[in-house]
Amino acid sequence: MKKPRIVAFINFKGGVGKTANVVNIGACLAKYHRKKVLIIDIDAQCNATFWVLKRKQLSQRLEDPSRTVYQVFHDHIAGTKLFDFENSVIRGVPVSDEGFPYIAQLDILPSSIDLMSIEERFSGMQGKPYFAALHSGLKDCVKEYDYVLIDCPPNIYGISKNALYFADYYVVPYLPDFLSLSGFRLFSKLVQKFQYQVSGYQNKKFNPRICAVIINRYRSIGNVFDQSVNELKLEMRNLKTQKLIHQCSAILTPYIRDCVRVAECSNAHQPVIIYGEKSIGAYDYFKLSDAFINHIEEIIWAC
């Protein structure tokens, strides 16, 4: 039986392009590579949910957290089994004004602002591991997909750790500036520490899973961006030696350039390949989706 590639887009730094990458890569995988793709939004900010849903769909769903990923966490904490995937997943997003899906094979499991309460409730849990909610609640539901892309919040608390536990591969969206570099090193250490803590539970093997970095909002003005990308390459070499990141991890190319159409398309509730089909953002994401698939498949073969 085919196994979905479950990929968490994660970085504890905010505003680095996690959501933009999940939505735009997800759209390319579904449209150009004919993959069946599920986006799981686990950020209480609901940005991926907002990005791909029209206002009416959005308001209906936000009023009913039981039909969002919130219910998966609630069930795990409360010991209930109320989550219904079929009743919660939204298939064929986004839709046109006439109600037709632009991309048939792209689905989303939406988020809810109610996720804000979950971190606090994790701390009161006893006996059951807080980090296994997504894995227990969704592993059987996602089998129909080729790719499952998880949009994480900008932190590495309990909800994000659920994504780390559930996903096989971690992709780190990265803004090339000097401050991001030390954050990346620290982030790799925290991720490794968590993986060590949970290895062995339900037979999950320890295996560094940060496997790719995506450079976002790249600008070729001056040499700040190129210099910081070069420093990142050096740092990744060190981190591989220390086994903090996957031996095959790489910076994917092309870099996603800063693009007005990418910045605008969330407000149009569309990925850039629909909203700005001829823009550099659409071109970059189209090319990057090729690199993304090849890289994930290479890593699977290498292991």
Ligand X SMILES: Nc1ncnc2c1ncn2[C@@H]1O[C@H](COP(=O)(O)OP(=O)(O)OP(=O)(O)O)[C@@H](O)[C@H]1O
Cis omega (within 30 of 0) for bond into 94: yes
H helical segments located in the chain = 18-31, 47-52, 55-62, 70-78, 85-88, 118-123, 133-138, 158-166, 178-198, 224-241, 260-265, 272-275, 280-302
Task: Report if residue 24 touches Mg ion, rule: CB under 5 A.
Answer: no
> What whole-number distance in Å separates Cα of residue 16 and Cα of residue 22?
12
Q: Does 31 bind ligand X (CB under 6 A)?
A: no
The 40-59 site mask, x for binding ligand X (CB under 6 A), equals ---x-x-x------------
Q: How far is the CB of 28 from ligand X (least distance, A)?
A: 14
Q: Looking at 19, 71, 228, 279, which residue binds Mg ion (CB under 5 A)?
A: 19
Q: Report, in Å, the least distance between residue 23 CB and Mg ion.
A: 9
How many whole angstroms separate alpha carbon 273 and alpha carbon 28? Answer: 7
For the bound state, the minimum distance from the C-beta of residue 18 to Mg ion, rounded and expressed in Å, comes to 5
Is 154 among the residues that bind ligand X (CB under 6 A)?
Answer: yes
Q: How long, in residues, is the chain?
A: 303
| Interface size with Mg ion, residues (CB under 5 A) | 3
| Residues 65-94 interacting with Mg ion (rule: CB under 5 A) | none
DSSP letter assigned to residue 276: T
Site string for ligand X, 247-286 (x = CB under 6 A): ---------x-xx--xx--x--------------x-----
Closest distance to ligand X from the beta carbon of 21 (Å):
7
Interaction of residue 47 with Mg ion, rule CB under 5 A: yes
Residue 173 forms beta bridges with which residues? Answer: 214
- Footprint (CB under 6 A) of ligand X, residues 201-220: 216-217
258's contact among ligand X, Mg ion, none, with CB below 5 to 8 A by partner kind, is ligand X
Distance CA 203, CA 198 (A): 10
| Site size toward ligand X, by CB under 6 A | 21
Window contacting ligand X (CB under 6 A); options: 12-20, 91-99, 125-133, 137-145: 12-20
Please spell the DSSP secondary structure of 213-259, one letter per residue: EEE-SB--STTHHHHHHHHHHHHHHHHHHTTSS-TT-EEESSPPBP-
Q: Which residue in this structure is represented by tokens 């968490």?
A: 8
Footprint of ligand X on residues 170-199 (CB under 6 A)? Answer: 173
The full DSSP string for 26-65 is HHHHHHTS---EEEEE--TT-HHHHHHS-HHHHHHHHT-G
Binding site for ligand X (CB under 6 A): 14-20, 43, 45, 47, 154, 173, 216-217, 256, 258-259, 262-263, 266, 281
